[in-house]
Structure formats: structure tokens, C-alpha cells
Chains A and B, each alone.
Chain A
Amino acid sequence: MPPVQKLNPPSAQSAEPFWLDPRKRAVLFQAFVLGLVALIAWYLVTNTVENLHRQKIATGFGFLQKEAAFEIGESVIPYSAADTYARALLVGALNTVKVAFIGIVLTVILGTFIGIARLSGNWLIARLAAVYIEVMQDIPVLLQLFFWYALFYETLPGPRNALNPLTGVYVCNRGLIIPAVDPHPAWRIMALALAAAMVVAWVVRRWARRRQDRTGQAFPVFRVSCALILGAPLLAWLAMGSPRAVTLPELQGFNFVGGKTLSPEFMAVLLGLVLYTAAFVAEIVRAGIQAVGKGQREAAMALGLRPAQVLRLVILPQALRVIIPPLTSQMLNLTKNSSLAVAIGYPDFVSVANTTINQTGQSIEGVALIMVVYLFFSLSTSAFMNWYNKKAKLVER
């Protein structure tokens, strides 16, 4: 009798004891494991609560509404020591977002350039890129942060002898101080103009693509878009009376007043993370480009496409498919590594959360918050990159 028949009749199956049925057995095992996990979780939670209670350590998130009473060095939103712990933590989270976001953008740009340079036909450029990648990859990022930070405060002069390379721009061990643009209604109009120009550019691109599909006629989308995106805000600026007022930073007492300051801590974190992560991104970009078959380029050139078109229309779309998934993980690395900022005094989320933990004594709540916030950052980055990955994926017709 063939074995297939034995499985088929339902009557035979029900007669079997349930532990011989792989499906029922699987359900049983899963229920067992789930129960075990739930039991351990229950044990940990009740035990923790009991221990904290025994040591009379405060619990709960009530502290978030209390006055923080500590100052934070830099913040993108208004903050003072009179604000709550919740606000202090928000300041920290935004500082992390600031350094991670700017860091990711710069890393992708720099990494792409170095990755392409690594493949350059120019011997010197290719070797320089290779040396950069090897050196940066092999030095721990924490050391790099210490190095850049020490470089800022050891080599740069104090504010009273600040270097002044351009009018209103000062470089000293307090950071890079640049003039601040005075508030004017024109700035908002310019932002609106920019947004409008971007929408129009997108519409033009769609229309041009449709027309090319229909008639075969190409339209200079790139040049038109550039003109729109640069021109519209410029026109708005001229129309609003071209405001030019800026506040120049001025040395007053100890430090510069007026203008915007990029602190040495921020710049050291940014520089360290970007230079380190860019080395990995460069290798990813190189791998992506090399993954596209040589024949593709040759075929595209045989069709008469210009080199720029070959890169944009043939190589990049295929390389991106290889590049995006590992690139996502580098972005996540950069975000998570930004927590090393605590070592050189940049007030990121971990730094503020550590102070909060210490002032309130509530480690478990503090660590839980740190985990939740980083999970949120990572999941948002992943979600965005997965969406982008889907778009870049091979579309099968």
C-alpha cells in the first residue's frame, strides 16, 4: 500500500493518538512554550515589584511630571531647569533625532562618494578611498569620538582669541558660531514657495514620463525641476523685499551672544559618527555597483545612452536593490551609536535619561524608557526604508 493513502482518510487520523499528529503536537508545544514565557514574565514582574517595595525604592512614572531642576546644554525646543522631567527627556530625544538625522544624510552622501571613488579608474583616488575605508572601519567609534572632541578643545583657541575666517563666523573651543538670520515673514513665504515648487516638479515629472511613454519625446525634467526648486524661493525672496538682516555674533563677557552656535560636543559626535559609518556605507555602495553585471552597462552604451543616463537609468536602479537593505542597517547603527555621545557630553537621550535615573533613583523605569525610545527610532527608520525598498524592488511584469 502506498504511504500517501495512509494520511488521507480522516477516520484513520482521528483514531490516532494526538501526539502522533504533527499539527496537534506543534500546537501543544507552542502552547507550552507560550505558557512558560508568560510564567517567567509574571515571575519577573511580581518579583521586581516586590523587591523594589522591600527596599522602599519609588516606582511608577509619576516622576515625569515633577520638576527636573537640572539644566541641559543645548536644546532645539525652549527648556529651562523649571520644566518637567518629561520635557527634559523630550529635549534629549530631539537632540538624538537631530544628530541621527543630519548624520544619516551626511553619511549617505559621503559614503556614496567614497564608494564610487573606490571604483575609480584613477589609481590614486581608488587607493585613497581604500585607505580611508580600512582605517575608519578598524578604529572603534568611541575612540574616534574622543579624538574629535579632544581635537576641538585642545587645538582651538578660547573665545577671546577666536579664529574669525569670515565676517560673523567664529571658530573657537566653544564651537562654530555663525550669524543668525533675523525673523522675517519672507522666510515662511519662501518655505511655502519651495513646497509648491516641489509639488509642481513632481507633477511635471509625471507628465513628462507619460508623454515620453506616448510619443517618445524626452523632456528636460531635471533642469526644469532645478529651476523651479531654486527659482521659486528666490522669486519669493525678491518679491518680499529681499530681507538681509542678520544678527552677528558678538563676544560679550565669556561667550558669544547672538548668532547660532554649533557646540564642539555636537560637531564631534556628528563628525565621528559620519566618518565612521560612511566607511561601511562606501563598501555597501561599491558592492551594489559591482553587483550589476558588466553586460548591463555595455548593453546600455550600445543603445546609445550617455554615461550619466547609463548610471541613472540602468546601473543605479539595479544597484539600489542590493544597497538598500544593508544601508538600512547602517542607518540603525548610526542612530544607536549616537548614544555614545554621553561619553563626550552631548546631551542626547541617554545622557538626559541617565541624569534622570540618578536624580530620581528609578533605574527600571529609566532603562525601560531608553529601550522604548530607541525601539521607536529604529522601527520608524526601518518602516521608512522598507517602504523605499519596496519601491526600488524589481517590478516583475
Chain B
Amino acid sequence: MKTATWILVFTVLLGWTMNASAGTLDEVKSRGYLTVGVNGQVFGFSMPDDKGVWKGLDVDTARAIAAAVFGDASKIKFVPLTAVQRLPALQSKEVDVLCRNTTQTLLRETTNGLNFVHVNFYDGQGFMVPKKLGVKSAKELSGATVCVLPGTTTELNAADFFRKNNLQWKPVVIEQNAELNKAFFSGRCDCLTSDVSQLAGHRAVAPNPQDYIILPEVISKEPLAPVVRHGDDQWFDIVNWTVMALIQAEEFGITSQNVDEMLKSPDPEIQRFLGVTPGLGAALGLDDKWAYNIVKQVGNYGEIFERNVGPKTPLAMERGLNALWNKGGLMYAAPFR
């Protein structure tokens, strides 16, 4: 059985969740580190490198939260979770926040008792096939065997897509991402379906990346965002405004390199943002240097993107929807005042 599911059942039974409103921030602070649920098997988003150091866009988002709370991005513990385990793990307080390429949906925010903060990656579902199959479009996939992760929006979107287009298909559903990829890359399935970013990540670490193509169709909207539990508004605000601070820093042109110079900026907005003019941090229950710490230690959103999934990485992804709003993308932070 799924450990996380059992943990949920038992913790709920034991009534540990009685004090759901006791304040995640206080718990995190007294514990001394942040626990974050991550995927752990997607290159570019969250995966330890060959030295065991966690790398990825989701990982850096999580580090930004730790930087905001502790002023130290390294006070963090990563908990790898499968798609099936992730929501129960968050519900049962095994983790403080999920940064695990999780799609925001209506049912997850209601019946699952969770809240999604600002999106940290706009994605969409695609299909990857071996080049030698000669497939050019997802509409040609009739009769295909498709590898898919269980417990994801992907699984449901794929079912909808094939149903809508009246195509026959056969899913092969394996919970561990690594096992699923192995099955696909050794030919068990004709096609792997997932969010396009993940497909690119899996392809980047495949035995022969050049043998696979990602089909042009993007069949869904996948706004991936960090997730917190219902019922702790302060914690929600902290995580939400951390993601927005990453975006706002890019918009201000503040980077990890120039953040110290920016402290001297005459711009009152930047002064408020970096805590030179105090007030914003205190309102969140954090140090006024919170945004300074985020940018100094982790960087802004653009830096994180370029470092993990951008054109110079094996994933080679363009900014696209993830560009700033004033550069044709969707990344738009609410005013910091």
C-alpha cells in the first residue's frame, strides 16, 4: 500500500490534524527546516544531480520559500513523492508544501481540501513518440499503447482526448516515474504522454534523446503551481507571495548578481520590495529582508528558468507562456504594496 495513504489515514485517525489552524509558519520555524514534497524523478524540475544535490525549477521555488522564512535557502528537506502519494502526503502534514509539478484543478482545490498558489510553470500535455514510428500528429495515434502516470490530470486528459477523437488506445499505468520511463524507452509503449516540460526532461536523460520527438499537439492546459492545505491563510500568503516575488524581481530587473546594488535604488517600489522601506515582510509575518534573501540566494524567476529548463540546458525550452506578461507571456505578479 501507499505509505502516504496510510500515513494520512493514521494521522487523521489519531487526530493530529486537530490543530490544523495552529499555524504552519510556527511549526516550520520551531522545526528549523521546511519540508517540501517534490517529484524527484523529473530532470529540470526536481532531481538530485550526480553529487546528490537537488536541482530543478520546483526545487528552486521551494528554496525560495525557505529563504523567505529562514533567510537561508538551505534549511529544507526534500521528500520525493509519486503522483499518487503527493496529495495525501500534503493533506496529512507529511510536507508543508508541494512543489511537484501539480496541476491546479477545481476538484483538487475543493474536495481534496487544498489550495494552489501562483503558477510557477504554465504547461500543457503532449505526446512523445520514437521517431522511427513516423507519426507526425497525435491524431494518428489510433490503436497505440500509451505509457501514463496514474493519479494525474494527464491520465484523465489522455482518456478525454482519445474519447473525443474516437481513437482506440491502451494505457500502461505505472506509478514510479522511473519505471514508467524505462518501459517507454525500451519500447513497451508507442507513446509517452505527460506535460511537455516533463517529456522534455525525460528525453534529456534518455539513452538516445535524438531518437524521440514530441508531437506538436498540446492537448490541455496544465498550470503547475505549489500547493498548500486549506485553512492556513498566513502560510498560503507566504508561499503565494514568494512565487510572485520571484516574478516581480525579474520584472524589476533584480538578479542574484545585482541585488546588493539594487538596495541603493532610488525607486520607491524597489525599496519596498527589498525591505529598504520596511513593512511588506512584517505583513506576511516574515523578516523585511525576505524578498532580498530570495533573490540573493536563489535568483529571480528568469534566472531559475534559464538555469534549469532554458535554451542552454538539455531541455532547451523557450520561455513561451512562462515569459513575463510584458514580454508576451503569462507571468504577472500583483503589486507589492
A residues with CB within 8 A of B:
44, 47-48, 51-52, 54-58, 69-74, 80-82, 150, 152-154, 158, 173-174, 252-255, 257, 264-265, 339, 342-345, 347, 350-351, 354-355, 357-364, 366-367, 370
Contacts and interface: CB of A to CB of B under 8 A. Distances in A.
A336 to B, nearest CB: 11
Interface string B2-42: 10011011001101011010000000000000000000000
Interface in B97-115: 107-108, 110-113
Nearest to B184: A153
A361 B183 contact: no
B176 A153 contact: no
B205 interface: no
Given A51-B15, A252-B143, A355-B155, 16 more contacts: A48-B12, A56-B231, A69-B159, A71-B162, A71-B171, A153-B188, A253-B144, A254-B143, A264-B188, A265-B172, A339-B1, A354-B2, A354-B5, A355-B151, A358-B151, A370-B1
15 contacts: A51-B17, A51-B18, A54-B20, A55-B230, A153-B188, A174-B145, A253-B143, A253-B144, A254-B142, A351-B173, A355-B151, A361-B113, A363-B91, A364-B9, A364-B12
A366 B17 CA distance: 20
Interface stretch (B80-88, B212-220, B280-288): B80-88
B208 interface: no
Given A253-B142, A254-B144, A367-B6, A344 B12 contact: no
B174 interface: yes
Contacts of B176: 343
B28 to A, nearest CB: 19
8 residue pairs, one from A and one from B, having the closest CB atoms = A358-B151, A361-B112, A58-B111, A81-B159, A345-B174, A153-B188, A55-B113, A57-B113
Interface residues on B, range: 35 or more
A128 to B, nearest CB: 32
Interface in B150-194: 150-151, 155-156, 158-160, 162-163, 169-176, 179-180, 182-183, 186-188, 190
Interface of B: 1-2, 5-6, 8-9, 12-13, 15, 17-18, 20, 83-84, 87-88, 91, 107-108, 110-113, 133, 141-145, 150-151, 155-156, 158-160, 162-163, 169-176, 179-180, 182-183, 186-188, 190, 229-231
A71 B91 contact: no
B187 to A, nearest CB: 5
A342 B151 CA distance: 13
A378 to B, nearest CB: 16
Contacts of B179: 343-345
Contacts of A342: 175
Given A56-B230, A81-B163, A255 B143 contact: yes
Contacts of A44: 13
B187 A173 contact: yes
B110 to A, nearest CB: 7
Contacts of B170: 73-74, 255
Task: Name which of A47, A52, A80, A358 has the most chain B CB atoms within 10 A of its CB.
Answer: A358
B246 to A, nearest CB: 28
Nearest to B147: A345
